[in-house]
Chains A and B, each alone.
Chain A
Amino acid sequence: MNAKRRRFAGITLGVLGALALAGACSQPSAAGPGASIGDIAAARGLSEADISAAVKTYVPTGQFDEYMMFASGGHSGQALVIGIPSMRLLKVIGVFTPEPWQGYGYGSEEHAQLMEDGDMAGHEIRWGDSHHPALSETDGDYDGQYLFINDKANPRLAVIDLRDFETKQIVQNPLFGSNHGGAFVTPNTEYVIEPAQYAVPLDGTYAHIDEYEERYRGAVTFWKFDRDAGRLDESESFTIELPPYWQDLSDAGKGPSHGWAFINTFNTEMATGGVMKGNPPFEAGASANDMDYLTLINWEAAARVADEAGKTVQIQGRRVIPLQTAIDEGLIYFTPEPKSPHGVDVTPDGQRLVISGKLDPHATVYEWDRIQTAIADQNFSGTDAYGVPILDFDAVVEKQVELGLGPLHTQYGSNDIAYTSLFLESAVVKWSVSQGVVLEKLPVHYNVGHIAMAEGDTRSPDGNYLVSLNKWSIDRFATVGPLHPQNFQLVDVTGDQMQLLYDSPIGIGEPHYAQIIKADKLAAWETYPQIGFNPATMSPAEDIATTGTERIERRDGEVHVYMTAVRSHFTPEHIEVNQGENVVLHVTNPEQTRDATHGFAIDKYNVNLSLEPGESQVVRFTADAAGVFPFYCTEFCSALHLEMAGYLFVRP
């Protein structure tokens, strides 16, 4: 024994000596822990600005980011959670698309129901084109309770509870054929605003494109949010019929403009496309006019009208205020806006609206007082083809500020400073809203769409961080094949000059919008608060087993298996059923330790659950395939994780 130990010590010393020798012979390493900052920078070719950027974004191990950004996951159909300033990806929340890690859509009865609620036109829809996340607000500030996000491709909205960062509801809008301008919330999250995008017949039927002006329609739905239930309430929601223009982004008024919603439109030309029929393509036809219409809607008044008898019609089971009623009740006005607009962004004080038309180098600033006066004075320059009064442009616009090429979306810093993305210029421009002057431009890489700022669309923006959500990354990252990642660029806006800090590749889809909330406003759970908790209802689950009460019962033609998953075993470990039997698994993780999550996957049965501490899930399936099927824990829960397994025996 002693000889062996001596030999081991000898070998160790020999290896150490060899390493030391190798170290002495090689170039002095600049990356060693003892190297000075100057040496490291010189060795890596970093400038002083690079070091400053690195220091501003580095979050040491064990420390948390100051902000959390909730970004749409684009085609992934998910929502991304990213820390700022580190830009570390914290979570991909499963929303419209099954997400195996969270066990989302792989066997859980609740998740299956949630997703089925989003199936449309007889199709099982298991993806989404998530665009615009919206954090719930109280008094016009983020309150950190809920997140809403839309699916543009299939007009749907989802509700995510920020206690457990899980999707709780998917609602569909059968009236629409796509949506774009949601989700945006009113200042107390009374409603979630969901405008349509491409006009279709609202009744869901076929109409020839030649009937476009008669049968096709735009619309906006105001989804009532029941905060106590944490759900959108379809029965209390209402839709307003709009002319067959295409709706784009929206925003809710706040402060003096509280009670109003603003929606950009395009294709007010009512182009119908059809290049192969000799018509101009949409891109030309829908951009023919210099001006489109900003839609102004009094949602507070509309909510009252929607409750009055005879003021709404039912279309596909939804309450719709017809356009004529909306006009008669003074719920809707238009005013011209530069064509191809994207953002309509209400200033923090609620006094101004900034609109960017991508094909016009100006930001157009509308003043709320002027809008109110124009409405009161009926200062109209006419009506559109459907009779919607058009507020006189000169009467409501305060100024136009030349920002640069392709202004797209505006966010706010502190003290009257606005930041607007310039798509064509690939830049972010900083400017003063009240003075109407450009202060600075920062190139970004490349083709910036939305920008997100720390609480930058609330009543009290923080004015420190800006994230540029770039559509193209071109040469910013190593090539990973012809599909390149998106590029989120973090910018420090606290100084006189904006400083680009960090490039973060997004390789999961094309995100559109993001919102950034101060992390201390969130109060997420570390574990579920009780053993046997049902995340779908956010209440204790019924009909479960906990440690000691596991059992298998046959009743009503079903095999009910009451299971627990504890480090490092399932109870029971043997599940014996006959082929064709309906199996209901009630699986509970009775642990209460942070991170003690168990997975539960069944071989060849397309089942995988994520059972976070305290969580309970129900899986229902028919044991249609006979054979022996191992099940096991899919989270590396413990040293004996591999042994955390069992068998499903299906007797033929």
Chain B
Amino acid sequence: MNGPIEALPGSDPGSSVLPPATRLTPTQFLQGELSKRSRILLVVLALAMIPALFLPVWRITLHAPQYPGGLTVDIYSNTVGGELAEVNGLNHYIGMAEIHPDEFPEFRLIPFFILRFLAFAGLAAMVARIPIAAVGYIDFALFGVVMLADFQGWLTRYGQELDPAAAITIAPFTPKFLGTTEVGQFAVTSFPTIATGLMALAGLAGPVILILEWRKSRREYSDAATLA
């Protein structure tokens, strides 16, 4: 599985007089090559981002007696779909601003970030460099955290900035980005969907790759040290 190690850092023949290092340094680790296993995993993750571009990221469902199937709003990487017209219609009663997908700059950024991760993962798999994978991962993880915060920010704004002239006056509220919020006869549930699952998979895979690679490098390093 693992290819022969030609030149481990620290095992340079020119410095063989020094006692062999007993620990793998981070620098040495980052200079190492990605294993084939990790490279395959990166390709899989990169490919998984393609459906994530087109599948819903988040689903908000409004449950009420007169909507037996619930009213769903699906958030995609680049737009909002589902029964948005009806939800906007209902929201006007409490003075909530209408949701118009074209008013969110995020919908131009999100696909770009997903594609950027795809590119980083693909490149890292191709050239087998750990730093590229690491940069791509950090970029994507930060993006994910920022987006979740941004999502909650929008929900808070919609819930808090109610038009006081609306037909029905209710206390401003903060819809939860995850979980259930009660508003009048509606129970509003908000949960991630398949595309988020795919992205979360990428998020989880990062540390896994990191640990696997670290262990592998350390094993190889100590093997090489023992041989020397």
Contacts and interface: CB of A to CB of B under 8 A. Distances in A.
The answer to whether A and B come from one shared complex is yes
Interface of A: 566-568, 591-593, 638-640, 643
B167 to A, nearest CB: 5
Contacts of B168: 639
B167 A591 contact: no
A643 B83 CA distance: 25
B93 interface: yes
13 contacts: A566-B89, A567-B89, A568-B167, A591-B85, A591-B86, A592-B85, A593-B83, A593-B86, A638-B93, A639-B93, A639-B168, A640-B93, A643-B167
Contacts of A568: 93, 167
A566 B85 CA distance: 11
Contacts of B85: 591-592
Contacts of A566: 89
Interface string B166-195: 011000000000000000000000000000
A592 B86 contact: yes
Contacts of B86: 591-593
A545 to B, nearest CB: 16
Contacts of A592: 85-86
Interface string B77-103: 000000101100100010000000000
A640 B167 contact: yes
Most buried by A among B86, B89, B167: B89
Nearest to B83: A593
Contacts of B167: 568, 640, 643
Contacts of A638: 93
Q: Is the interface of B mostly helix, strand, loop or mixed?
A: helix
Nearest to B69: A594
Interface of B: 83, 85-86, 89, 93, 167-168
Contacts of B83: 593
A568 B167 CA distance: 10
A592 to B, nearest CB: 6
B88 to A, nearest CB: 10
Most buried by B among A567, A593, A643: A593
Contacts of A643: 167
A567 B167 CA distance: 11
Contacts of A640: 93, 167
Contacts of B93: 568, 638-640
Given A591-B85, A592-B86, A593-B89, 13 more contacts: A566-B89, A567-B89, A568-B93, A568-B167, A591-B86, A591-B89, A592-B85, A593-B83, A593-B86, A639-B168, A640-B93, A640-B167, A643-B167
Nearest to B90: A567
Nearest to A640: B167
The 4 closest A-B pairs by CB, nearest first: A593-B86, A640-B167, A567-B89, A592-B85
Nearest to B185: A639
A530 to B, nearest CB: 13
A268 B167 CA distance: 72
A553 B10 CA distance: 86
B172 to A, nearest CB: 20
A592 B85 CA distance: 8
A571 to B, nearest CB: 12
A524 B165 CA distance: 40
A638 B89 CA distance: 11
A625 B167 CA distance: 33
A567 B94 CA distance: 13
Nearest to B66: A595
Nearest to A62: B68
A638 B168 CA distance: 12
A546 to B, nearest CB: 11
Contacts of A591: 85-86, 89
A603 B124 CA distance: 74
A204 to B, nearest CB: 53
Nearest to B184: A639
A612 to B, nearest CB: 15
A639 B168 CA distance: 10
B57 to A, nearest CB: 24
Nearest to A566: B89
A568 B90 CA distance: 10
Nearest to B89: A567
Nearest to B68: A62
A522 to B, nearest CB: 21
A591 B85 CA distance: 8
A5 B83 CA distance: 40
A591 B83 CA distance: 11
A643 B168 CA distance: 12
B90 to A, nearest CB: 8
Most buried by A among B83, B85, B168: B85
Nearest to A591: B89
A545 B89 CA distance: 17
B98 to A, nearest CB: 10
B83 to A, nearest CB: 8
Contacts of A639: 93, 168
A573 B168 CA distance: 19
Nearest to B86: A593
Nearest to A595: B66
A593 B67 CA distance: 10
A639 B83 CA distance: 20
Nearest to B93: A640
A593 B167 CA distance: 21
Contacts of B89: 566-567, 591, 593
A470 B194 CA distance: 59
A567 to B, nearest CB: 6
A593 B87 CA distance: 10
A591 B89 CA distance: 9
A139 B100 CA distance: 50
Nearest to B71: A593
A336 B167 CA distance: 74
B153 to A, nearest CB: 28
B185 to A, nearest CB: 10
A252 to B, nearest CB: 42
A639 B170 CA distance: 15
A640 B90 CA distance: 11
A568 B86 CA distance: 13
